[in-house]
Amino acid sequence: MANELLPLYRDASQPVELRVRDLLSRMTLTEKAAQMTQIERRVVSPAVLSGLPVGSVLSAGGSSPSERASPREWADMVDQMQRLALASRLGIPILYGIDAVHGHNSIYGATIFPHNIALGATRDGDLARRIGEVTALEVRATGIHWTFAPCVAVLRDPRWGRCYECYSEDTEIVRTMTSIVAGLQGSAPQDHPPGHPFLAGRNNVIACAKHFVGDGGTDKGKNEGNTICTFEQLDAIHMKPYLDCLAQGVSTIMASYSSWNGEPLHSNWYLITEILKGKLGFKGFVVSDWEGIDRLCQPHGSDYRYCILASINAGIDMIMVPFRYEKFLEDLIFLVESGRIPMSRIDDAVACILRVKFVAGLFEQPFSDRSLLDVVGCKEHRLLAREAVRKSLVLLKNGNDMKKPFLPLDKNARKILVAGSHADDIGFQCGGWTMTWHGGSGRITIGTTILEAIIEAVGNETEVTYEKFPTEATFSDQEYSYAIVAVGEDAYAEFLGDRTQLNIPFDGASIISLVARRVPTVVIVISGRPLTIELELLDKVEALVAAWLPGTEGGGVADVLFGNYNFEGLLPITWFKSLDQLPMNAGDDTYDPLFPLGYGLKMNLEKKN
């Protein structure tokens, strides 16, 4: 029974589709175009939001209301924007979006989980779901409704700068890890129709499966490059994880910057409309990537009307503009009024956006839940992250003689050396998408470094010497029982991480060689991908551990090194011998890796001292 006092779309007892239809019928073209517009936080002002009911606001990586803003400050900012949006003629709430891709990574003090490549090494879908649940709580604590995660790219070439954002090169492993969607959004009921958006409640966030489709398969791993394959290959390798996301009710999907056989995804009607919306029945909304439509012409954005025409008519519903929204609106309205974009396409796009907002309960509960503020970075969440670190570590070598394994380490050794560029660096442990878009080094947020964890773990009689960059002097008249050397990559994101060489940065190989010549050594590699390790270097070390990008909880590394837990991780990606083998994936006719997909050793803990 409709509530006579309320316009139907405001009546939460009404079916979503009736509310969508009612609200759509009340909207002007300008209001519809505004709903299809996503702008960045820095161009938002009271004038913009009250005068222009934009569909969404986002924070780019690290775009924070202030330096190290508190969760309360974030929630105040988002709620203030929401108040302005609700004051508009029809009072349509905004969706606020952010990249919370390994925890709420733009927030100082938030729990930072291992990046996806590490989680892929666990193959633990339930762990992914639990991480999604916790991430959703920390995101909602700051008033934010939507995360641009998970990235479900199937990684086929580690030279890609976004390797660490991928769970695996193996489609089935990626499919397993999509259960993070159920963690982020809440678990949809068994009878939930695949493709329809879902959100359980205020402790959950809208997820965004990205980047549709084939982003991990570009030629030579070039960021925003071209994936050359048949539709059958695209479907079998890259499309399948989206089926799992749709089955869980993923509410949004982001288009990929990349192309398929030369056709940009952002203007690909066949894949977005015919396949994703038609054949697969996706009823949430498709959002562009950041200035993704601008890339449809060269120089980027030069023929902006063409960019808008091609992307909207291809089936993209919301455009992450994110700055020049006036130009976007003016051109979009011109294209509709001139008949080049049919009003039916606009109505379809806005219906998808409104559907997600109604399903998310935004009209009923548009503001943040302040009771969540204290969960950001709380101990319980950090313990989950520490569990994820433990489960993600992959043991690649343990002793030069099977009968004399090197690990676990003796926590009561007399004197140990900890060395390397990555032994005491939270920023390097976290990698890209942490505090800023590309991340950084040093004390960028609250956490435990590997060095700190080792010092905490060893006995009171054990002396720990730390040398970031050891020299000959490090060893003069010193007798170390063993050495732990942590080396790896700097922090990077997207194209900044594209590589044609994958040697260990910061002179890592020399550090390993210098130390391993003098002291029995275990090497911890902190990286977003496999790195080049020469066989002769491998022979010099006693043990080798791939720790990926573990995040803030370095304690997980010490937990396993000293045998409190065993290794569980298995390589989610092929570890090449040399770059000229790439691309090289399990199942290829020629497959001669240093360590194959699925490789990982365990320790014999019975002998633990």
Residues tagged active-site: 289, 494
Closest by Cα among 450, 437, 367, 372 to 135: 372
| Pairing verdict, β 56-59 and 394-398 | unpaired
| DSSP assignment letter at 491 | P
Compute the least distance from the CB of residue 150 to ligand GLC, in Å.
Answer: 11
Contact 528, 497 (CB under 8 A): yes
221 Cβ contact partners less than 8 Å away, ≥ 6 residues apart: 156, 157, 158, 159, 160, 163, 498, 582, 583
Number of H helices, E strands in the chain: 20, 17
| SS3 state of residue 198 | coil
Burial of 199 (0-12, 13-18, 19+ CB in 10 A): buried
Residues in the chain: 609
Distances from the Cα of 519 to the Cα of 128, 179, 409, 534, 542, angstroms: 38, 43, 14, 19, 9
Tell me if 19 contacts ligand GLC by CB under 6 A.
no
For the segment 239-258, give every residue that binds ligand GLC (CB under 6 A).
Answer: none
Compute the least distance from the CB of residue 258 to ligand GLC, in Å.
Answer: 10
Segments in 375-425 forming alpha helices (H): 379-392
Tell me if 212 contacts ligand GLC by CB under 6 A.
no
Contact 65, 74 (CB under 8 A): yes
| Pairing verdict, β 259-260 and 263-264 | antiparallel
The correct pick among 96, 164, 290, 562 for binding ligand GLC (CB under 6 A) is: 290
The correct pick among 108, 148, 167, 304 for binding ligand GLC (CB under 6 A) is: 148
Give a three-class secondary structure readout of 545-585: EECCCCCCECHHHHHHHCCCCCCCCCCCCCECCCHHHCCCC
Element spanning 524, H or E: strand 521-526
Question: For the window 84-113, what string marks contact with ligand GLC as x by the rule CB under 6 A?
Answer: ---------------x--------------
Compute the least distance from the CB of residue 215 to ligand GLC, in Å.
Answer: 9
Tell me if 150 contacts ligand GLC by CB under 6 A.
no
Tell me if 31 contacts ligand GLC by CB under 6 A.
no
Segments in 433-570 forming alpha helices (H): 450-457, 508-516, 535-540, 555-561
Number of residues that bind ligand GLC (CB under 6 A): 8
Sheet holding 285-287: strands in order across? 208-212, 252-255, 285-287
Tell me if 289 contacts ligand GLC by CB under 6 A.
yes
Give the Cβ contact number of residue 243 at 10 Å: 15
The correct pick among 61, 125, 183, 530 for binding ligand GLC (CB under 6 A) is: 61
Compute the least distance from the CB of residue 99 to ligand GLC, in Å.
Answer: 5
Compute the least distance from the CB of residue 216 to ligand GLC, in Å.
Answer: 12
Compute the least distance from the CB of residue 289 to ligand GLC, in Å.
Answer: 5
Distances from the Cα of 107 to the Cα of 202, 212, 256, 444, 494, angstroms: 19, 27, 26, 11, 20
Compute the least distance from the CB of residue 290 to ligand GLC, in Å.
Answer: 4
The correct pick among 60, 229, 579, 586 for binding ligand GLC (CB under 6 A) is: 60
E strand segments, 108-231 = 146-147, 208-212, 226-227
Give CA 127 to chain center in angstroms.
15
Compute the least distance from the CB of residue 354 to ligand GLC, in Å.
Answer: 22
Amino acid at 500: T
Compute the least distance from the CB of residue 60 to ligand GLC, in Å.
Answer: 5
The correct pick among 19, 196, 210, 390 for binding ligand GLC (CB under 6 A) is: 210
Segments in 375-449 forming alpha helices (H): 379-392, 426-430
Give the Cβ contact number of residue 23 at 10 Å: 24
For the segment 485-544, give every residue that binds ligand GLC (CB under 6 A).
Answer: 494
Tell me if 595 contacts ligand GLC by CB under 6 A.
no
Compute the least distance from the CB of residue 506 to ligand GLC, in Å.
Answer: 26
- Partners of 95 in the β-ladder: 56
Give the Cβ contact number of residue 591 at 10 Å: 13
Contacting positions for ligand GLC (CB under 6 A): 60-61, 99, 148, 210, 289-290, 494
